[in-house]
A and B are shown apart, each in its own frame.
Chain A
């Protein structure tokens, strides 16, 4: 069921370029790119025009209202590009044990995955994986970093 290719590092690097210095990635989701050479249906398109990620409260895998709005937009986008497959990554901040955070990351990833499935996205197009606290988006031992790291990220996998 979960067949994840070696996309993670490449996608992660691309994500970083787009997200660099942005203190509120969620609000960036509605903003269009100014420059404009973005190919439709790509990870870059998802990041810039939809929002590739949702954020979670501490020790929670429930989707916030903001998260649901982002996922509604992701679902619409995925409907628009039916040949696009995705992997959803679940992540946690560093303030928990490695094993608990692996479990929490999986619940977060599954929350996103099942929300998109309920929104009509074929589960054959989706995979999910937990990275626990092992792959922070923002390095740092404070709440600013933690709030960015408690996330579910949608990665285009083809």
Chain B
């Protein structure tokens, strides 16, 4: 399915050289990196160091583009922040890159110093010093350092200092309790937090591209409506309080508007796509068709919207201008399409497709060409892009049985090449994941 392709990972250090990595069958050979102990002079800083090393190592490994060379093999055991490494020692154990760091307490807080070395070229390619006021920010420091390493070595934008909002699920499948929850992108339990209490069902949360806001749907007083949750204040606000269901919300790229479906009682409750200006609270109707129009998603330049419609008989994917003009069908394959999401790079659209009894998550070019399936299973839904456009998260649900068993639903991460799928752990079941922009 995936042909042998070649990608080039750029380095941006002095020599301006580039590393070519061959991807056979879409699978990247992970780059070996050594990460020394992150040194601390006392028990607190040593503990921070251990935490940071684990976060950085896990992040880089989970990306699928790196692996951490086993610590037991390290020949040199010094702190290499202030001392030039013996590159030969690191070459011998086939580490291409070397990260060393230390943590200390200063009068301004906790200070991290980091050095990243290119072992084969025997030079420093990145250095960093940052100070945080207290240990509550340790996890973010770990993610930030991971981003810097990832960006420096791959040339792609990082994605580690980000969060995932999702729907936490518990209880019988016919009386499911669903709560909004948020966590770091690695799903670490220390970062996990519930945002709603489970009294009302909540669905389909999505981040604003450049504000600390989430738009989602909630059944408050059993009225299904689109809301905005403010992550700074914890306040919830309805988006357009009028008769009829609003759902399937997503922010515009400037975070000033929400595009969503509205089922107008005066239009036979048929779902049309509307744009709601969050400043003026005026709404404009973008579609007008007797079929269902839903799941709108803006292109990152804000000029186009991809959406799901059954106007041709079965649910398919369509693109229109931001004002609703020039509607064109883009899905070409057999099956029932849904959940289109425009990539933050602008080049691809992720989607779900139901065909031959299975759901598929795939990507296609924005004109519908080059459709390719990334993952297939009985029930897959809600693809969402990493902010750098290289990965997808989605949920996978098992079959359920008449006796009430089964139906477990979990959040997964996958490289769009179809490799490196892994579960993002959640304390309960999880669905409808959405990724924040870089913090």
Contact = CB atoms under 8 A, between A and B. Distances in A.
A136 B262 CA distance: 23
B401 A139 contact: yes
Contacts of B295: 97, 99-100
A95 B11 CA distance: 46
Interface in A1-26: 1-9, 12
Contacts of B402: 138-140, 144-145
Give the interface centre of A4, A106, A110 by most chain B CB atoms within 10 Å.
A106
A156 B404 CA distance: 27
B338 A96 contact: yes
A110 B379 contact: no
A103 B243 contact: no
B339 A107 contact: no
Nearest to B379: A94
A1 B248 CA distance: 21
Interface stretch (B23-31, B39-47, B170-178, B276-284): B170-178
A93 to B, nearest CB: 12
Given A129-B222, A134-B203, A136-B174, A99 B404 contact: no
Contacts of B336: 96
B116 interface: no
A75 B176 CA distance: 32
A136 B352 CA distance: 22
Contacts of A6: 221-222
Interface residues of B, number: 51
Interface residues of A, number: 39
Interface string B48-62: 000000000000000
Nearest to B292: A103
A14 B379 CA distance: 30
A137 interface: yes
Interface of B: 172-176, 178, 201, 203-204, 217, 221-224, 243-245, 247-248, 261, 263, 265, 268-271, 292, 294-295, 308, 310, 314-315, 336, 338-339, 352, 354, 378-379, 381-382, 399-404, 406-407, 432
Given A1-B244, A145-B402, 6 more contacts: A9-B175, A97-B381, A100-B338, A107-B263, A139-B400, A139-B403
Q: Lowest 10 CB-CB distances: which A-B pairs, in order?
A: A110-B269, A97-B338, A1-B243, A141-B399, A4-B222, A103-B271, A99-B248, A103-B292, A106-B263, A140-B402
